[in-house]
Structures are given as structure tokens and as C-alpha cells.
Amino acid sequence: MRDLVIGMAGSGGDGIVSAGESLIAACAAEGYHALMTKSFGSQIRGGESSCRVRLGVAPVLNPGGALDVAVALNWDDFLKFGSELPVAGNTVVVYDSATGIAPDALPLEGIDPAAVFAVPIGEMARKSAGTEKAKNTVVLGLLAGWFGIARDGILRGIRKKLAKKGPEVLAANERAFQSGIDYAAAHPLDSPRTIDRPGQATKKLIVDGNDICAAAAIFSGCDFFGGYPITPSTEVMQLLGRELWKYGGAVLQAEDEIAGIGSALGASFAGKKAMTATSGPGMSLKTEILGLASIAELPLVLVDVQRGGPSTGMPTKSEQGDLFQAVFSANGDVIRPVLAPTCVADTFAVTVEAFNLAERYQTPVVVLSDQEIAQRKEVIDPIDTSRFTIVERVRPRGAELEPYVRFRQTESGVSPLSHPGMKGGNYLAAGIEHNERGEPTAGGAAHAKMMEKRFRKFAPLKTREDLFRIEGDPNARLALVSWGSTAGVCREALRLARADGLSVKLLVPWLLYPVADGVYRSFFASVKGGLVVEQSYQGQLYRLLKMFTDVPAGVQPLCRAGANPFRPTEIAAALRDIALSLQRQAGDARQPQE
């Protein structure tokens, strides 16, 4: 096998996520590419938890489709994840026999798995380790035994992780791990499924999207973070709280979302690079101060880790439903850049770019991550930071301070920005419309002039082709467009479709807004049919593109609500159907007309 997709679920405290983390770390150390997603119920404590681990000898682009291996410590909890843990006819199902369900009576409607093992996992943990808390270690032994996965690496990880807990705890878990291996040896698979050995192991990072976002902020020169904890963005603030002070910065955990962004904007006014992070409900509260940042032309980075909505929605599930909110949530005419990473590695580059755009254009910039990217772990190559350039805001000097005209009309639309304490650099930064000097005005002519300035400065951004990734045949008649975490699914679907003989190309934007109509116009020039794939109920990117560019009539949305992930195979199949439809249309057009 070239890759393997494992899904596990159980109750809070069963150590399911911990088992997944041990597995991905061991496999990375042995040279595998890997990706791990995790999902939870929305309870404060307890409830169900799950993880998916996909291992491959080639780079892994997404969590994969149907599970090769399904591990259920508790069927009630497993079934709560629905399409997040899909079982199919080729799945090997492993479950705790203590559930009392017979192998021929699994609660999997209409599905006949390839193999079913009812294993006394809890009993094995008690006998080998003296506690059911070792069930996750037994599971790791079963996986290592049946599928030949990183046996030595897992054992080294167990020893490293538990060494500080004393020799007795370590020995108990070693016995639990070995009991799983022994059980697998005594109950072999009818058709062995050993994953191929990877190439030579090289130095890798195992990191999630939130942590790498925080690391990118530090690298970009972030001086201040102001925020409020909210799932699934909280880890950004937590890492910065541990690390930012080492680089001369400060973190404020404010009393609410409004105070969090207010403090960050105040730091920006004071001349510091500033950032805040939130999710959809917090974004709603931050909207007013985003408008203030726009009219005062102050740099600010806001990271929105999307989750299921509206309102409190689904705090622990991924969705791409905040695009309209990021683009349009403002009173009056506002334009602000909106960027989106497509994977954990992308998140570093996109966050750096967000700081650069904020400083260059003196504007708030929204980074739309999502729960999957933010909280999944990926095995990635070390980041070559030498390829990045850090942008600083333009500050007034010399004659520009005699006198200082803060909002001076310039050719680029960007005016030098002072800060408190700069001699001669005083100005009024308020939420009211103003003239070039920052003096309040209610004049229509002055308002129109300042609106034009605020929009004009973004014209170069719409020509940034480097903020788009295009793959496939440049002249293809079939196309895919996707963003965020679904882009990885589309990248694999592109490979499947091309292997099936289809001529397809894929466009993945990092820049979602302002819409770069020239980039899309060029991409769609050869296109007759295709899909805009996204995890939002109404297909928000598709609708946004229809507003600003000519989308070919044959390009349609493929969208669905959160917690219902796409599979590469279904997207490839949809492309095949579109290709056949185009062939029929071409054939009909050649028929003689009566």
C-alpha cells in the first residue's frame, strides 16, 4: 500500500487523540509523510473525540476518503462523527468487544467491511498495564502488528513520553503495546495490508496550523497580540503568550473580543505590528473596530479560524462559511484584503504575507484559516525563512513632517504613517471621515476623494499572480477552483482525473479579496465546464466570483455545509460527468437541424 487512512473514536479520556499524535510522530521519524486531523464534541468536558491519521510514502495533501482502518472504542461515540469517519467495503474494522455487539451486527447500515475484529481492548489494557487508561497503547500495538507501521518508532515515542512518569508506568505501557502486537500476530488479516517503506528519513517538522501561524507572526515582527480565547483559534494566543515576550513583544488576553481587537489597533496606532485572532462569533464582535482600522488606515492582522456557524454553531467542526463576513462585514464602502492558507505549511507564508500587506497598504488584513487546518498536524519540510521579505510601514521623514499631512493624496494612495512621540507627527486618527490633514469633515467632495484613495491603493494587489496556485493543463476545458482546506482534496482529485485521461486544471487562490478579475479571466479563457469546490452551504466563493468576474456558464458550485468533508474520488467523478456532458453537447451541436 502507498498510503493508509486510519480513523479512531472514543470517549473523552480514552486517549484517542494522544494515540494519533504518537502514531504520526513515530511515522514521521521513519520517513513517512503524514497528516492528522482531530474532532471533538462541543462539550466543555468529556464527550466524544476522534482523529484521522493518513500516512503515505508520498506527500499527503488531505485527510483522505473512506477509512482503510476504523477503530471504535465505543460505537455510540464513533457514529457521532458520521461522514468524518466513513467506513466502506475495503475497511478493516477494529472495535472493543466489551461493547457487546457481534461482528455480524455492526451498526453500519448498508456496509459490509472487508474485515471485522472484536478485540477485548479494555481487558487487554487492564491485564497488561493494570488500567484501562492504556487502551490507546493497546490500539497502537494492534496497528503496528497488523499493518507494519513504525513499530520501533512508536515504542521509542512511548519511552520518551512516559520516561518522566517512572519505570513502573513505562513498563506497564510497554506491556500494553506488546499485547496489541501479540494479538495481531495471533489473529492475522486474511489479506495482509502492509504499507510500503518510505525513503530515507530526513529532518521534518510536525506542527499544526495555529502554532505555525503564531510562529509566522513572530517571524514577521509582530510586537503585540490582543485577543480573547475562542475555539478553534485559542492556540494562536497560547503560543504567542509563551513565546512573544522573548522577542520583545507583549500579549494581552482581554476581557472580551472587542477589547482584544481594540488593544491591537491601539498598538498599531502606537507604531507596533499588531495581531488578533478569533473565530466567526468573535469576528462579529470585532467588525466595528475593523471599520475603524480601515478609515484610519492602520495596519492590523486578524486571523479568523472558521468553524461551523451561524451564531455559536459548531465550535469544534470545520467550515468555510465566513468568507462573506470577512469581505462584507462593514458599514459603508470598505475594501480589505482577505487571504486563506490551504494547509499547515501554507499558513506560515500566508501569515507573513498578511503582515506585509497590512504594513504596505496600511489596512486590516483578514486571514481565513479553518478548524481543519488550524488544529490538524502535518509532517512538513523545515521552512526556508531566507526566501521571505519582511515589509515595514512607510514612515514620514524630513519635509513630510513640515507640516505633517497624514492622509496626503499620493500616487499610490499610501501616505506615510507616523506614531506618537515622532516629532511633528501628531495627527487625529478617528472613525469619522476626514480631510487629508485628518480633520473631521461632512463634505461630500472630501468624502468621495478619501474613498477613492482608500480603494485606489489596492489596485496593485489585484495583479499579484504569485498569490494564486495554478496546476494542470493551461489550455484545459475542465477546471477546478477551490480554497482553504478543501484545496488539498481538489489537488488529489486533479491527479485522479488526469490519470483517468481528463484534461483538467486547478486554480487555488491565497488572495480571496479583492477579487483579482484578471487572474480569473485568464484562467477561465479556455474553460467550458468545471466546479468551484468549497465547504459552505451556499458556495460563497462561487457567488463572490460571479459578482466580480465572468465565470463560464458550465462552471458550477460544488458545496456543502461543514463537518461533511469532500473526498477526492467524488470530485474526480463529478469532473468525469461534466466531461461526458460536454461531449454530448458537442455531439448534439453537430447533428443536422430540421
- Rounded average pLDDT over 146-151: 90
User: Which residue reads 461551523 in cell numbers?
Assistant: 308
CATH match for 208-387 among 3.20.20.100, 3.30.70.60, 3.40.630.40, 3.40.50.970:
3.40.50.970
Q: Where exactly does CATH 3.40.50.920 map onto the chain?
A: 465-589
CATH level 3 topology of 3-186: Pyruvate-ferredoxin Oxidoreductase; domain 3 (3.40.920)
| Per-residue pLDDT reduced to its tens digit, 339-379 | 999 999 999 999 999 999 999 999 999 999 999 999 999 99
Q: Where exactly does CATH 3.40.920.10 map onto the chain?
A: 3-186
- Rounded average pLDDT over 6-25: 92
Is the pLDDT confidence value at 35 over 90? yes
- Rounded average pLDDT over 312-320: 95
At a CB cut-off of 8 Å and minimum separation 6, what does 493 contact?
480, 568, 569, 571, 572, 575
CA neighbours closer than 13 Å in the CB half-sphere of residue 487: 24
Nearest residue to 479 via CA among 556, 417, 566: 556
Question: What per-residue confidence (pLDDT) applies to 150?
Answer: 87
CA neighbours closer than 13 Å in the CB half-sphere of residue 523: 28
Band (pLDDT 50/70/90 cuts) for residue 594 is: low
At a CB cut-off of 8 Å and minimum separation 6, what does 88 contact?
66, 67, 111, 113
Question: What per-residue confidence (pLDDT) applies to 407?
Answer: 98
Q: Which stretch of DSSP H or E encloses residue 374?
A: helix 371-375
**Residues 364, 454 contacting (CB under 8 angstroms):** no
Band (pLDDT 50/70/90 cuts) for residue 202 is: confident
**Residues 303, 278 contacting (CB under 8 angstroms):** yes
Domain 465-589 listed as CATH 2.40.340.10: no
Question: What per-residue confidence (pLDDT) applies to 281?
Answer: 97
Residue 87, C-alpha cell as written in the block = 467506513
Sheet containing strand 364-370, strands side by side: 250-253, 224-227, 274-278, 300-306, 364-370, 338-339, 511-513
Distance CA 9, CA 46 (A): 13
Nearest residue to 572 via CA among 501, 496, 507: 496
Band (pLDDT 50/70/90 cuts) for residue 580 is: very high
Please return the burial class of 10, using the count of CB atoms within 10 Å of its CB with bins 0-12, 13-18 and 19+. buried
Q: Where exactly does CATH 3.40.50.970 map onto the chain?
A: 208-387
At a CB cut-off of 8 Å and minimum separation 6, what does 159 contact?
170, 174
Lowest mean pLDDT among 168-172, 554-558, 585-589: 585-589
Question: Which residue type is seen at 257?
Answer: E
Measure Cα distances from 563 to 81, 260, 314, 321, 517 in Å.
8, 29, 9, 12, 31
511-513 and 338-339 beta bridge pairing: antiparallel
